[in-house]
Amino acid sequence: MNTMMGNGVRHREVSLAEYQNLMYGKDNRLVRLNPETSISSITDTDLYREAWSVQNGIVDRYVPADMLSVEVAVDPRQDSYRAVPMLSVDGELYSFTTTSFEQLCEKSGMGVTSYMKKCIMNGLSHLVPQNLNAWLKAQGSKELLVRFYKNEVIAFLSNKYGVFDHGDALDCLSKALGKNSTYRIEAHALGIDNMSVRLVDTEKIMIQDASGGRDKSTAGLVFRNGQTGRSLASIEFMIYTFACTNGLIVAQDRGIVYKRRHISIDKEDFTKQITATLEQFPDYVEMARKDMERARQVRISVEMREHLRKQIQKDLSVGEETVDEILEVMDTQWDANAWGIAGAITEVAQKFSADRQYQFEKYAGELVKRLAA
């Protein structure tokens, strides 16, 4: 049943998956590979083919704001009240993603995303089209870049946004690395919003325990791109530990980090910038090796441990259980030093989504820098 009730509200069945995708987003996790046996050519990977498949499916339209409108689909069943907003463009309806709904809400000002979601969750979904449509009409003919993929609207962006999608980004990375690159893909995550590719150089061993233990670490990089305005195109230096397949992203001011906003991105220029960044990695490896050695000399005292417990919980916005797990991993699988706590953080991070894992790895790199200073 799909019945229009007026005031931008229509009755129809709303699936749990559709509702959860809007409210919480999709859980995009890293796909792990064995870097010592993975394919060296990026263009021969499933990741590359999927990235281009998605890119070729995206449709961009520059639309005046007052030509857009929002409706809300409400499931009227008593045992399952659910509501999801829909975007109407020229009579066609499109589902929102978490990102696109937040972008449209934020453009109306006053940080109203949480308010809109509360309306949806509390049976006041009719207020969503009332608020958003009033804002869209007030914008008049102001042009927005609206990005669509299949039956979803995936982004609302400025008309100055420079489209540079995942397939283009991988082309540039592949060309910059060259045919004889020693970098191999260790893990990747590809979503409609963001892409993350982790590559390691299996020949650049940075540290090796005398016993051949779990501190065998090598140089790597994290290459990221966004195609809905959530992420810049960027390269960051990573230290990869073989035994637990985790990575630590080194603090930005300790080496070469390249970031590029999505404005006037040119593939040839971007490839040159990646190449220039990679050329400086050997010097970066030496700096990072020294930082690692200093971190291994900084012992975690009882007092420091309690301070770190509170600091990690606050900085990463996690519960006590996650902090307890981090400390237990440090105690049982690493050493009680600055390098060990960082390793434990990145190891526990692997149970989270790709974007959340990235946040943990960035934090671990900053923590090593602070503790070893």
Phi, psi of 120 (to 5 degrees): -65, -40
Distance in angstroms (rounded) separating the CA atoms of residues 50 and 167? 8
Task: Please check the confidence at residue 282 and state whether its pLDDT lies above 80.
Answer: no
Q: 170-184, 193-207, 317-331 — which one is most confidently predicted on average? A: 317-331
Average pLDDT in the 128-157 region?
91
Instruction: Indicate whether 332 and 363 sit together in one domain.
Output: yes
Instruction: Indicate whether 330 and 234 sit together in one domain.
Output: yes
Please tell me the least confidently modeled range out of 2-16, 24-38, 54-68.
2-16
Distance in angstroms (rounded) separating the CA atoms of residues 97 and 21? 7
Domains identified in the chain, total number:
2
Instruction: Indicate whether 243 and 366 sit together in one domain.
Output: yes
Residue among 199, 152, 174, 164 at smallest CA distance from 49: 174
Task: Please check the confidence at residue 235 and state whether its pLDDT lies above 50.
Answer: yes
Of 126, 158, 190, the last residue of a domain is 158
Query: Residue ranges of the alpha helices (H) in 43-179?
Result: 46-57, 98-107, 113-121, 127-138, 166-177
Owner of token pair 């709904």: 101
Beta bridge partners of 369: none
Quote the pTM value: 0.81
Please tell me the least confidently modeled range out of 9-13, 70-74, 179-183, 304-308.
9-13
Instruction: Indicate whether 307 and 184 sit together in one domain.
Output: yes
Average pLDDT in the 85-98 region?
91
Phi, psi of 337 (to 5 degrees): -140, 180
pLDDT for the residue numbered 118? 87
pLDDT for the residue numbered 53? 96
Distance in angstroms (rounded) separating the CA atoms of residues 351 and 29? 9
Evaluate whether residue 360 is within a structural domain.
yes
Averaged confidence pLDDT in the chain = 84
Instruction: Indicate whether 141 and 185 sit together in one domain.
Output: no
Phi, psi of 53 (to 5 degrees): -60, -45
More confident residue, 201 or 367: 367
Evaluate whether residue 50 is within a structural domain.
no
Distance in angstroms (rounded) separating the CA atoms of residues 125 and 332? 50
Residue among 258, 254, 246, 316 at smallest CA distance from 285: 254
Instruction: Indicate whether 171 and 200 sit together in one domain.
Output: yes
More confident residue, 107 or 163: 163
Instruction: Indicate whether 135 and 170 sit together in one domain.
Output: no
Q: How distant, in Å, are the alpha carbons of 35, 208, 224, 250, 284 from that of 257?
A: 22, 25, 12, 9, 10
Instruction: Indicate whether 95 and 232 sit together in one domain.
Output: no
Task: Please check the confidence at residue 210 and state whether its pLDDT lies above 50.
Answer: no
Instruction: Indicate whether 302 and 338 sit together in one domain.
Output: yes
DSSP assignment, residue 248?
E
Evaluate whether residue 89 is within a structural domain.
yes
Task: Please check the confidence at residue 3 and state whether its pLDDT lies above 60.
Answer: no
Please tell me the least confidently modeled range out of 45-49, 180-184, 261-265, 289-293.
261-265
Instruction: Indicate whether 127 and 239 sit together in one domain.
Output: no
Of 127, 158, 189, the last residue of a domain is 158
Owner of token pair 């070893």: 372
Evaluate whether residue 48 is within a structural domain.
no
Please tell me the least confidently modeled range out of 75-79, 88-92, 270-274.
75-79
Of 107, 127, 158, the last residue of a domain is 158
What range defines the domain where residue 134 resides?
Answer: 3-28+58-158
Q: How confident is the model at residue 205 (pLDDT cuts 50, 70, 90)?
A: low
Evaluate whether residue 40 is within a structural domain.
no
* pLDDT tens by residue, 50-85: 999 999 999 999 999 999 999 988 877 755 668 889
Query: 3-state class of 125 per DSSP?
Result: coil
Instruction: Indicate whether 125 and 185 sit together in one domain.
Output: no
More confident residue, 335 or 79: 335
Please tell me the least confidently modeled range out of 52-61, 144-153, 191-200, 260-269.
260-269
Task: Please check the confidence at residue 21 and state whether its pLDDT lies above 80.
Answer: no
pLDDT for the residue numbered 253? 53
Task: Please check the confidence at residue 285 and state whether its pLDDT lies above 80.
Answer: no
Evaluate whether residue 46 is within a structural domain.
no
Evaluate whether residue 76 is within a structural domain.
yes
pLDDT for the residue numbered 354? 87
Q: What percent of the chain has pLDDT over 70?
A: 86
Distance in angstroms (rounded) separating the CA atoms of residues 83 and 75? 6
Evaluate whether residue 42 is within a structural domain.
no
Query: 3-state class of 51 per DSSP?
Result: helix
pLDDT for the residue numbered 211? 37
Annotate 272-335 with DSSP letters as a single string.
HHHHHHHHTHHHHHHHHHHHHHHHHH-B--HHHHHHHHHHHHHHHT--HHHHHHHHHHHHHHS-
Cβ atoms of residues 10 and 72 within 8 Å: yes
Instruction: Indicate whether 95 and 240 sit together in one domain.
Output: no
